[in-house]
Structure formats: structure tokens, C-alpha cells
């Protein structure tokens, strides 16, 4: 028998949209992403202080992003074949092993080749862990709760990377130094991984999600062929790429803008970055709630695409026109973080567009998310010399307008809606039968 306190806790989780069996997974994901995000705001300036050129740093981030995008795509078919939990374990160990190699053989001796090798390999780790969990959420969460669950996923994800990660770094660096802070990120990642994987016992995460007769080759092909079988997934992947591409570009160029031109210290920049993404994680939840009321396409197109098209230049021009003014910079950052969060409903929309192939659809979304980690720095690498940071800003603003137009094309077909209703009725019937069986046994 459950106590009244346990029942009250479960009811609260239901009301706020967290799937009860996965609650420890969300906690572990937050800790993991805090660790992953520790370096986000200061790795670029640290490398430049060690004599690496800004072009080399951008190239390092670009190649790392390519690895992230490949791994983000692989998270879907591998979760289908092995179960999301095994994929998350694989991601955790890849991150841990190659982070040690990155620090010991790359950063400490300032060996660029080893940095490139180890950092790129480490890029395979976090997408397997994070997006493996996203597939787990899609597999274990009813369609009616997917929007809110996706909001909580991105709340935990961006709450760590780079929000709380950067905030942690801003306090840790003056106390334990930059290298000590890098090492502390490893501890946070491992703790988060163990919390998520040892405490979450929802059964679907340990099961193969695809049919028994599907081979790994077929699963891989299916997660690519869905692009032309259901072109809306490709459109969503492009929109998702645009979504956070500016974020990863800004991690390369904005530390210099704010510390050299606006007049902030490194600690102030890290605190500003935390404020930006504190706004992001709050609006991650709000955008999921709004999507349930206004429709996900409206939130993504208007709040995300058009909102970011306006907030990106504001985040650049307003602080430059009012240097040393931290509150004004923070206000512009809040607008920028909120506009990025408005893309969150894509993660709840895609399983509805392709309800029979949720993992494959999410793998394309993951591919887009991963691609943004190299597309952003690549745009900096290719275009900064053309018209400086200002030119890069306007490229991103234009891309966000394009994303708004593309989002209008992502619709749920009548056949998909009928399949979802049928599945929900079947799940509801099974839940009723299980409840009646439990009452009969009492």
C-alpha cells in the first residue's frame, strides 16, 4: 500500500508533467549536463590564452560538433536495437575515458593534435547518454504527456549545458583554478550518469524497442530513409540545426566580444552566460505548456524562429552600445535564451508526426541538434573574416527567419492522429485492467 505522502508526490509529478518512473533519469541528466557544461564558457578563452589561435579553436569546436552530430543520429537506431539504457551506459563511459585523455594528453601539455583526437572522440559521449534518454522518454511516456516531458528533458539538458555548468565554473575557477575546474566536470558527469542509470528502473529502457526481426543495418537505414519516407522529419532536422547553432557560435565569439569590447571580466561573462540559459531552462518548461494550448508549430515558428531573429542582434548591439552595463546585457540575454527555448515543442511534435517510428524520427532531430554544434562554429570559421562578428550575427538572424517559415510545413497527418488515438485507447484499457487486477489482489 502506498502512503498518502507517496501518492501526493506522484500526483504532483503527474501535474507538472514528469513521467514518474523516469524522475531519477531527469535528475541524473541534469547533473551529467552540468558537468558537460562546465567548460562551455571558458574553454575557448583558455585555449587562446595557451597560444592557440581563434581559427584553431573554432576548428576544434567544429570537428567536435561533427562527432556530436553523428552520435546524436546513432542514439536513435542504437536505442532501438539495444535499449536506451545500454546506449546511455556507452555514452557515459566514452565521455569519462576520453575526457581523461583530453586533459592529461591534450590540455596539460598543450598538445593540439591530442586535443583534437580526444575531444572529438569525447563528442560521441554526451549525445548517446542524453538523446538515448530522450528516446527512453518517448518510449515510456503517453502521447498526451510528451510535450511536458520533452520540456522537462530540455529543462535538465540546458539547465546543465551551459547554465549551471557555467555558473559552477565562475565560482570554481577563482578557487581551484582552470585545470581543477576541468577535472571537477568529470566528477559531475560520472555522478550524474550513475544516478540516472542505477536509480531509474523503468522496464522499457532496458528492452529492445524495435521488432525482433529488425537487424542493426535495417535500423540504421530506417533512421536515414525516414528522411525521404517522411520529409517532414528532414524539415524538422533543419529547424533543429538552426535552433542552437547560434549558441555554439556564440561560445566561440562572444567571450571576446564581452570581455574585450563590452568590458566584462571572464567571471562576469560566465555569470551572464548562466543568466542567459537560466532564462532558457525556465522557458523550456513554459514553451511546452504553451504548445499544449497554442499548438507546437505556433510556439516554434513565432516564439522560436521570429523571436530569435530579433533577439540575436539585440544581444549583440545593445550591450555594445551600453558597455559595462551588466543588467542591460542580462536583459538582452534573457530574451535570447527564451527564444531558443521556444523550439522545445519540436521534441514532442516529432513522435506525433511519426508515431510508429518514434526513435527514427527523434534520431533525425538528434542529428539536427548535433549538427548545430558544428554548423555554428563553422559559420564563424567561414564568415567572420568576411564581415566580422557583425556579419555572423546577421547570418544567424536570417537563418531564424527561414526556420520560422519551415516550421509551418511540419504538420501531423490524419493517419498519424488516428494511430495515436488508437494507441492511447489501448494503453488506457491496459492501465484500467492492471488497476482492477491490483484491487482484486488486495
Average pLDDT of the residues in 83-107: 96
Confidence band of 68 (pLDDT split at 50, 70, 90): confident
**248 and 392 fall within a common domain:** yes
Q: Could you tell me the CATH number of the domain that includes residue 102?
A: 1.20.1250.20
Most confident of 12-21, 130-139, 179-188, 419-428: 179-188
**331 and 289 fall within a common domain:** yes
CA dihedral 354, 356, 360, 365 (to 10 degrees): 30
Domain annotation covers residue 420: no
**How much is the pLDDT for 4?**
52
- 364, 234 contact by CB (below 8 A): yes
The CA–CA distances, whole Å, from 299 to 280, 284, 367, 421 equal: 14, 11, 22, 23
Q: Name the domain count of the chain.
A: 2
**209 and 251 fall within a common domain:** no
Residue 109 clears pLDDT 80, i.e. is over it: yes
**How much is the pLDDT for 149?**
82
**How much is the pLDDT for 320?**
94
In terms of Cβ atoms closer than 10 Å to its own Cβ (0-12, 13-18, 19+), residue 433 is exposed
**250 and 321 fall within a common domain:** yes
User: Which range marks the domain in which residue 397 is found?
Assistant: 229-411
Domain annotation covers residue 156: yes
Residue 330 clears pLDDT 90, i.e. is over it: yes
Cis peptide before 126 (omega within 30 of 0): no
**180 and 329 fall within a common domain:** no
Domain annotation covers residue 440: no
**105 and 178 fall within a common domain:** yes
Domain annotation covers residue 173: yes
Over the stretch 378-405, which tens digit does the pLDDT of each residue have? 898 888 878 889 999 999 999 999 999 9
Q: Residue 160 in 3-state DSSP?
A: helix
**198 and 248 fall within a common domain:** no
Domain annotation covers residue 201: yes
- 147, 348 contact by CB (below 8 A): yes
Average pLDDT of the residues in 57-83: 87
Domain annotation covers residue 296: yes
- d(Cα 221, Cα 74) in Å, to the nearest integer? 11
**52 and 120 fall within a common domain:** yes
**23 and 165 fall within a common domain:** yes
**176 and 200 fall within a common domain:** yes
Report the predicted TM-score, pTM, of the whole model to 2 decimal places.
Answer: 0.75
* φ, ψ at 172 (rounded to 5°): -80, -40
**167 and 275 fall within a common domain:** no
Specify the range with the lowest mean pLDDT, choosing from 100-114, 158-172, 382-396.
Answer: 158-172
Domain annotation covers residue 286: yes
Domain annotation covers residue 431: no
**207 and 235 fall within a common domain:** no
Residue 429 clears pLDDT 80, i.e. is over it: no
Q: Which residue has the higher pLDDT, 70 or 12?
A: 70
Amino acid at each position: 500500500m502506498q502512503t498518502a505522502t507517496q501518492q501526493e508526490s506522484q500526483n504532483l509529478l503527474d501535474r507538472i508533467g514528469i513521467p514518474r518512473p523516469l524522475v531519477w533519469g531527469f535528475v541524473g541528466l541534469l547533473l551529467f549536463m552540468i558537468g558537460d557544461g562546465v567548460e562551455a564558457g571558458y574553454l575557448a578563452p583558455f585555449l587562446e590564452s595557451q597560444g592557440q589561435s581563434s581559427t584553431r579553436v573554432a576548428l576544434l569546436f567544429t570537428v567536435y560538433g561533427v562527432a556530436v552530430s553523428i552520435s546524436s543520429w546513432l542514439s536513435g537506431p542504437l536505442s532501438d536495437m539495444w535499449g536506451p539504457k545500454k546506449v546511455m551506459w556507452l555514452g557515459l563511459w566514452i565521455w569519462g575515458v576520453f575526457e581523461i585523455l583530453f586533459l592529461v594528453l591534450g590540455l596539460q601539455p598543450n598538445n593540439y593534435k591530442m586535443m583534437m583526437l580526444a575531444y572529438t572522440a569525447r563528442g560521441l559521449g554526451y549525445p548517446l547518454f542524453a538523446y538515448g534518454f530522450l528516446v527512453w522518454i518517448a518510449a515510456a511516456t503517453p502521447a498526451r504527456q510528451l510535450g511536458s516531458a520533452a520540456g522537462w528533458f530540455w529543462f535538465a539538458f540546458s539547465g546543465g549545458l551551459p547554465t549551471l555548468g557555467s555558473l559552477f565554473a565562475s565560482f570554481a575557477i577563482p578557487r581551484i583554478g582552470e585545470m581543477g575546474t576541468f577535472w571537477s566536470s568529470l566528477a559531475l558527469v560520472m555522478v550524474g550518469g550513475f544516478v540516472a542509470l542505477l536509480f531509474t528502473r523503468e522496464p522499457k529502457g532496458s528492452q529492445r524497442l524495435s521488432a525482433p526481426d529488425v537487424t542493426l543495418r535495417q535500423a540504421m537505414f530506417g533512421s536515414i530513409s525516414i528522411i525521404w519516407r517522411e520529409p517532414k522529419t528532414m524539415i524538422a532536422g533543419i529547424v533543429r540545426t538552426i535552433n542552437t547553432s547560434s549558441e555554439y557560435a556564440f561560445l566561440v565569439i562572444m567571450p571576446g566580444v564581452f570581455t574585450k569590447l563590452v568590458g566584462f571580466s571572464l567571471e562576469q561573462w560566465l555569470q551572464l552566460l548562466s543568466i542567459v540559459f537560466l532564462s532558457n531552462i525556465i522557458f523550456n518548461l513554459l514553451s511546452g505548456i504553451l504548445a499544449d494550448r497554442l499548438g507546437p508549430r505556433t510556439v516554434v515558428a513565432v516564439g522560436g524562429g521570429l523571436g530569435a531573429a530579433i533577439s540575436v542582434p539585440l544581444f549583440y548591439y545593445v550591450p555594445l552600445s551600453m558597455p559595462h552595463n551588466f543588467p542591460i546585457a542580462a536583459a538582452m540575454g534573457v530574451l535570447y535564451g527564451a527564444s531558443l527555448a521556444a523550439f522545445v515543442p519540436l521534441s514532442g511534435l516529432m513522435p506525433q508526426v511519426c508515431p510508429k517510428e518514434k526513435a527514427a524520427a527523434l534520431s533525425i532531430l538528434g542529428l539536427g541538434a548535433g549538427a548545430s554544434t558544428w554548423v555554428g562554429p563553422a559559420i564563424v570559421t567561414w564568415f567572420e573574416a568576411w564581415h566580422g562578428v557583425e556579419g555572423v550575427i546577421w547570418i544567424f538572424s536570417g537563418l531564424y527567419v527561414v526556420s520560422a517559415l519551415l516550421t509551418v510545413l511540419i504538420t501531423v497527418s490524419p493517419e498519424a492522429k488516428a494511430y495515436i488515438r488508437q494507441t492511447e485507447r489501448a494503453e488506457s484499457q491496459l492501465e484500467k485492467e492492471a488497476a482492477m487486477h491490483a484491487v482484486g489482489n488486495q
